[in-house]
Structure 1
């Protein structure tokens, strides 16, 4: 985040004299406040733009006719997210501050050139995805423990039939804890800072995508990818499909469930069947 912070200082905070002159660029309080403003503004922008795109172009709007879909649910999801994201932003900015002040293993410079450099970059990306996928699985599963679920995670499960806007509508502690692995990785393993920024952005987009009700996945990848179909069943049946990207840890942990949508029992099929029966009864 130091690269982003430097750009923000040059083109925004310094250019428009946002801070008192006594607040030098390296002053920790200034850095923390700047990181909070950057985090919350970019987070809301990514959330609104990506969720809106998925909602209008990918989400099956017939799902809004499901009896478990709440009245005004889309707006409830949005307002809940916008209230909670600034709280999460405080914790996230604090993590970024530690990284910016040089305590992480992020390294500078463009991705390493050449075939060997490419292999190193791929290794780092695979390591990041593998580590975060494993850690988030166990954190998410812990959130379903009876001592934590009612107090923290239940807030996210009021959306039984989620839209993409539900992706960030959760308790702030829940949201932050599930993001901790992304912050923790660069303190444990070397990672190119530009690769890290891209991965951190894509993580947020992926989180939105698994709530978009678009179950299309190439058949060959269905056993491995934890997509929207898997996560829809998680919202409905609670104790299955905790994974983030892949089904590996659900299979290892005994919590894997083949998505109902892949077995011809999707929520849309239920809606159409009930409406058909209702129309037939009226006739």
Structure 2
């Protein structure tokens, strides 16, 4: 995040926003700057990729499903925007610790004893670690003593659109994002790679809510895509994973996508349309 902050300081914050008496490395200034960048960045990724996905990927026929609620898109956006704002406060605290040098993030690949092989290994480690942690955090959110207070808000949307991707209770959303922030405090990771992965996971979160249920054949049983995740929204106790199906299989919560068994949302829409025509 310090790379983004340096660019913002150079081109905007220093010349146009802050008085000269506020040094760029001042803690208060950094916290304010990180708050602005975090909110702007999160909303930009959410609205840009969410909108592109909604208009160019999402199948709008799904909006005819009986469980697609009234005024759903507006409700998804409203909840997501509120959640992203409140989530930004603890997130900024973690970013602040990173730019203050308390993490294991590094600039130059040559600083890593493992070089480029270590960088690629760290990417695999990041995906494995975050997928594992999010699975168990997500599954715990479905415990009956927690669900009604936090995760229930996300499950209002049985047939989600891409705008539901970040529509969480703020605490629920932050806890599920926490593994992304924790990883570089435990394991070495290149700063540019970390920033790229952070953007990637937000786009991935949008993608598993995009209503495009097509999955390349060999990956059906490996990748947790939108076809898997819509079953999570519809059937509740299945497919908690983020990227892969590994932890669902290990935890006994894997469900083969109903859409691939001719029992998905489109089938119900066709049945509903057929019944309407017969009437």
Q: TM-score, normalised by structure 1?
A: 0.95
SS at match of 2:100: helix
Offset of 1:275 from its aligned partner?
0.8
Residue in structure 2 matching 1:192, options 182, 190, 193: 190
SS at match of 2:172: helix
Offset of 1:119 from its aligned partner?
2.0
C-alpha distance in structure 2 between counterparts of 1:86 and 1:252, whole Å: 35
The answer as to whether partners of 2:106 and 2:189 remain within 8 angstroms in 1 is yes
Paired position in structure 2 for 1:26: 25
Paired position in structure 2 for 1:124: 122
The 10-residue stretch of structure 1 (77-86 or 133-142) with the greater mean CA deviation from structure 2: 77-86
Residue in structure 2 matching 1:183, options 181, 184, 188: 181
Paired position in structure 1 for 2:45: 46
Paired position in structure 1 for 2:151: 153
C-alpha distance in structure 2 between counterparts of 1:126 and 1:83, whole Å: 32
Offset of 1:22 from its aligned partner?
3.0
CA displacement 1:152-194 (0-9 Å, x = unmatched): 1101000011000000111000000001000000000000000
CA displacement 1:63-105 (0-9 Å, x = unmatched): 1001111111111111221122111111111110011100000
Offset of 1:265 from its aligned partner?
1.0
Does 1:100 pair with 2:99?
yes
- The answer for unaligned runs of 5 or more in structure 2 is none
Figure out how many residues of one structure are paired with residues of the other and give that number: 277
Offset of 1:149 from its aligned partner?
0.3
Q: Which stretches of structure 1, 4 residues or more, deviate above 6 A after TM superposition?
A: none
C-alpha distance in structure 1 between counterparts of 2:32 and 2:229, whole Å: 35
C-alpha distance in structure 2 between counterparts of 1:239 and 1:28, whole Å: 44
The 10-residue stretch of structure 1 (74-83 or 199-208) with the greater mean CA deviation from structure 2: 74-83
Offset of 1:266 from its aligned partner?
1.3
Q: How does 1:134-283 map to 2 (within 5 A)?
A: 134-280=132-278, 282=279
C-alpha distance in structure 1 between counterparts of 2:5 and 2:175, whole Å: 24
Paired position in structure 1 for 2:90: 91
Q: TM-score, normalised by structure 2?
A: 0.97
Give the CA RMSD over aligned residues: 1.3
The answer as to whether partners of 2:160 and 2:210 remain within 8 angstroms in 1 is yes
The answer as to whether partners of 2:14 and 2:20 remain within 8 angstroms in 1 is no
